[in-house]
Structure 1
Amino acid sequence: MDPLSALRDFTIRSELDKVTQTGDEILFGSDYTFPSSIETAYRSKQGNLYTLQTVVYFIKHYNLKHTDYIQRARSNKLPAVTLPDRKPLYEYLTGVTDSADQIETVIANDHVLNDGKIVETDGGGDDLELDDISLIRACERPLKDREALLECKGIDFYSVLVSSTRREEERQRIESQQRKDGLVAKNRLMGVDERGIGYGGGGGGGAGDEAYEANPKPKLLQLKSGKIGEGVPIILVPSASQTLITIYNVKEFLEDGVYIPTDVKVKNMNGMRPECVTVQKKFSRDRDQVVKAYEVRDKPSTMKSEDWDRVVAVFVLGKEWQFKEWPFKDHVEIFNKIIGFYMRFEDDSVESAKIVKQWNVKIISISKNKRHQDRAAALEVWDRLEEFVRSRSHS
């Protein structure tokens, strides 16, 4: 059966729900399978043959106004059935009419196959009686050949490459993160009073043999003051998803200066939720390239008393309950010992920051769409944090 007749048959039987598209093929239940791009026997008044995909989409959306149907077809990148063809095609598919002038005929010897009906012709030759095999072959239309299979219509191998590359980059990022977290944990176990890891030679007296090493080992930078607890300093973020900065996207924002919405990160990480994230900040000190490491956490309830001594910053949610179980008596004490940041979109209403304006926190604004401006916001966070840490260390 040709695709147009098959569609007419399923339409009349009210079984259009069984006509589905999978990849570049259209399935008629378990009865027939045709390429979605195959041309049907129905010729438009403009001269072209409608494809099966176009006719299927038309009959399934006939209840729409023609203008709405046209817009939907365009959004799905499908050619639309024209207004002059709309009524006759619909009446033929639904069985109101048995034939239409616009249906192409297939000639087999001296017989015309029109919608599966055999009509004798007076073509001038001897009338031949077609056997069953000849009738079947006359109705056949080739679906695929070797060239069609090699074309792989509807498959974009570039998108496959991009997807594969992204998965590999994500795997490498996770492995790199695990190595960083392992380094931080090792330093904490060794009791290192670290505020950063320096790379390079020089940097004051006592360079000694280190200046002549081909691959100098990281050197530890220690603060002169013990005001901040021993170990890697901690930055706290809210565990609620309605805030802009979370445990999921804080690394990209602070290290790369790029804001990625939390829901996007959660989807890319396949639901994996990190317990702790390490972020690093590079800066120059004398002739050294220095990297400072910070732990980012979002579960204050699991922290020990010595952990609280290492907390240097917090991204606030703007809700009182965020500080419910914190070991401080009020907001004044919190934001004297810890610098607070409140992230917001620059076009948010003033009411959204009404509460935090009463606290001693820094309000950082970013654009909803202009991602190139994120780096400036991230640098402002780092600048204010470094200034706060220096002042706290020398107080």
Structure 2
Amino acid sequence: MDPLSVLREYAGRGDLDKIIFTGDDILFGSDYSFPANVPTAFASKQSGRPYPLSAAVFLAQHNDLKHTDFLQAARLRRIPPVSLPDRKTFLDFLQFGHNTLPTEPLLPSSLPSFTQEAHPPPPPPEEPDDDEASTAHIRAIERPLKDRNSILDARGRDFLAIYHAVLRREEERVRNKDSAPSAGRSEPSAAAAALANPKADKSLGDGFVPIILVPSASQTLITIYNVRDFLEDFVFVPSDEKVRALKGSPKPECVTVQKKHVRGERAGGAGGPVAFEVRDKPASLKADDWARVVAVFVLGKEWQFKDWPFKDHVDIFNKVIGFFVRFEDDSVDSAKVVKQWNVKIISISKNKRHQDRPAALEVWERLEEFVRRTLK
């Protein structure tokens, strides 16, 4: 069956709305199915090339449009548009004004040799083919929102810290399975027991990751937002700048810092540099977490240590090394309380960023010495 003859028949019956584009095929109701790109006997007057069936059908269904609007609509559908000189000739053919086109008669015998024979739609047992065509059409217009790389983009989250947290949970699950906890045991007493012996169950090997606590208050210089810039990149970046850079992303619950190699510095132990977790929510720490706390950046306020599992400040800074970071031109009163504690005061400049490096290295030097002395 000649597809143009079928098209003219549908136009004569007023059934053009029953012709449907589906994937790479065109369905003429439930009667026939033709490939959309099959060449027809309708050829261009200028180039002599045959128009595909999709161009003829699209013109038949949208002949009421102005030619400029028709061209734009055809291009949006990625259908070859019929030129204006050929448009009137073809519409006359559809409306039985002429039985032939100027080039060749629109008969099956006149179609080029590569014209594919029409084939009726598959019988009911083969209806899955239509489903496959519909699925292919849907996939063709899909636009992926994420790929395997963008799915890993999680601002404000530290995947190394998440990995260590998963390991800890698995270890706790195994321990809880082997031995049930005592009925009257409370979390504060468990934390105190874990801290009773600072060397107990602490080793830089076997997945042990030390914890550094920083204040969550905004008035402190070192927070969870900028601690990595200070300790890893040796530069102080104000916390408010880091918050603005997050653009509304949630605050990280934990970040991991590790000292970078410094030129002229001798390599550490065989295990290499130690990674530290940095957190700012002491209330969320469990007994095993408190056993891993090795350092704290102090705010200079007594309430920072409320509900900590220690007797007093003397007990805290015997088991945990403390740092107080301040601007060098701040008043003496800002460190008045801190001077009563066993805490190292680190001074940085408000404007001279080249002075941040020695200040950060001093923190690392004292921290590494404390960890080696306490945990080994």
Question: TM-score scaled by structure 1?
Answer: 0.45
- Give 1 or 2 for the bigger CA radius of gyration: 2
Comparing both chains, which one has the higher relative contact order based on Cα–Cα distances under 8 Å and sequence gaps of 6 or more? 2
Bigger proportion of residues as strand: 1
